[in-house]
Amino acid sequence: MTTILGCIADDFTGATDLAGLLARSGVRVSLRIGIPSEPPDETSPFEVIALKSRTAPVDQAVAEARAALAWLQRAGAQRFFWKYCSTFDSTPEGNIGPVAEALMAELGTEQTIYCPAFPENGRAIFMGNLFVGQQPLAESPMKDHPLTPMRDSNLLRLLAPQVTRPVGLADRLTVDKGADALRNALDEHARNGIAHVVVDAVADADLSVIAKACRHMPLMTGGSAVAMPLPALYLADGLLSADAPRMAVPQIPPHSVVLSGSCSAMTNRQVAAYLDTGAPAYQLDPLTLAQTGQEPVLDWLAGQDLGRAPLMYATADPDSVRATQKELGVAKAGEIIEKTLAACAVAARDAGARRIIVAGGETSGAVTQALGADRLDIGAEIAPGVPWTFCRSGGHHIALTLKSGNFGEATFFTDAQEVLNTQ
């Protein structure tokens, strides 16, 4: 089937977040891990390409996004979505703005919007300022993110240094007046040469207004939630057929493993809650791994009952993370953890695990690559923006969930297992 919407995400958990929300429509969604090497074949109405470019050099991120766009265009997509984190994770150089400008240039469009709001997960934008729950972004735990510490809450100030053309705001008062008012405001910005427009949203109803006003844009950008209304709008517009293909859920045996590389505040809570259940667990220390290698944790895993879903985790508090990074360097510390958890995923699969739960964007990228998963079909959500996905790995059907660090409730790791048990 011809692809209706082509999406590009800057990390793996963000891609599954977006794919999961689009899949709420019931229409089949395919998630591609990295830029497909083969020409488009048997594509889904909604195609999502997961890159690993959030903290990559700007030139690399732009080149990968252009290549992903070209593949999606060959798949037939006419409308596109650039997905980044709902906390606008980025460095002063990008990569949110540079990629957006590159995609705009390729598509020949003069304007796009930026809306990382996700009210269902506590992300709201008001007067251009991003809030995480009731806290401004710069006062939230994101201020201590190990790779992209967010020290400003104003999206216009964060975006302006990343782009070459003017940045503007469509505020909540405009959005509240409805889709026509927002469309008129965007047109006025365009007449004034404003190419990059941050759009306020504090509730799900705002997202519906924004999607309705912007659905004809060649390119939209944001977090996943603003894309969620698009399937229904495309159906109403006649772009999406009522008999579009649906997802068939395979039966997956219960043996499981949990891998956590995220150090977010929520993942710390989730690890603590899972430890309280008495599940077997092994804490990874980058300093120790640098000396001993992966063998001790792989030996431990080999002796575990996968029916009890053992946990291997590097999750730690911000002070511990900073101390480790000071000793090893930021890149080295992250690389050690990613490679170790990826090796654990492969070892668990080979030992019979068919359900693999992963927390952390960088960890998810490493795990999917190690498993050789290049296409995921999207299944039921465990939490808003976090679905189960299904793929083939090592000759087996595998259920895989890739969780952004801040998503899910404290009981996420047990919730994930229960959701699949009820399918």
Q: What is the pLDDT of residue 198?
A: 98
Q: What SS3 class is residue 102?
A: helix
**Do 227 and 368 have their domain in common?**
no
- 130 close to 155: Cβ distance less than 8 angstroms: yes
pLDDT at 19: 92
Domain identity same for 45 and 161: yes
Query: In 379-401, which positions are buried (b, 16+ CB within 10 angstroms) versus exposed (e)?
Result: bebbbbbbbbbbbebeeeebbbb
Whether 221 and 355 map to the same domain: the answer is no
pLDDT at 323: 83
Q: Residue 318 falls within a domain, yes or no?
A: yes
C-alpha 85/C-alpha 149 separation (Å) is 13
Domain of 388 in residue numbering reads as 256-421
- Alpha carbon distance 110, 419 (integer Å): 43
d(CA 107, CA 171): 26
Residue 248 lies in a domain: no
Answer yes or no: do 274 and 225 share one domain: no
Domain count, the chain: 2
Give the model's pLDDT for residue 248: 67
**Are residue 271 and residue 315 in the same domain, yes or no?**
yes
Peptide bond into 129 cis (omega under 30): no
Q: Please report the sign of the dihedral spanned by the C-alpha atoms of residue 288, residue 260, residue 224, residue 175.
A: negative
Beta bridge pairs of residue 383: 386
pLDDT of residue 246: 67
pTM for the model: 0.80
Burial class (CB in 10 A: 0-12, 13-18, 19+), 78: middle
Residue 389 lies in a domain: yes
The pLDDT value given to residue 422: 77
Task: Looking at the structure, tell me whether residues 396 and 298 fall in a common domain.
Answer: yes
Taking the CA atoms of residue 234, residue 223, residue 66 and residue 245 in that order, the dihedral angle to the nearest 10 degrees is -40
- Element holding 60 (H helix, E strand): helix 58-74
pLDDT of residue 264: 87
- pLDDT averaged per 10 residues, the chain (length 423): 92 88 90 92 92 93 98 96 95 94 98 96 96 95 87 97 98 98 98 98 98 98 97 93 71 94 91 96 92 95 97 88 83 89 97 96 88 90 89 94 88 94 74
Query: Does the residue 45 lie in any domain?
Result: yes
Question: Are the CB atoms for 81 and 40 separated by under 8 Å?
Answer: no
Q: Based on the fold, state whether residues 337 and 387 are members of the same structural domain.
A: yes
Same domain, 230 and 145: yes
What pLDDT shows up at residue 1? Answer: 64
Asked which of 191, 207, 237 is the last residue of a domain, the reply is: 237
Question: Does residue 246 lie within any of the structural domains?
Answer: no
| CATH code: domain of residue 364 | 3.40.980.20
- Whether residue 36 is found in the same domain as residue 73: yes
Residue 245 lies in a domain: no
Residues 293 and 221 in one domain: no
Please tell me whether residues 298 and 229 are part of one structural domain: no
**CA–CA dist 350, 34 (Å, integer):** 23
* Short-list 355, 381, 383, CA closest to 367: 355
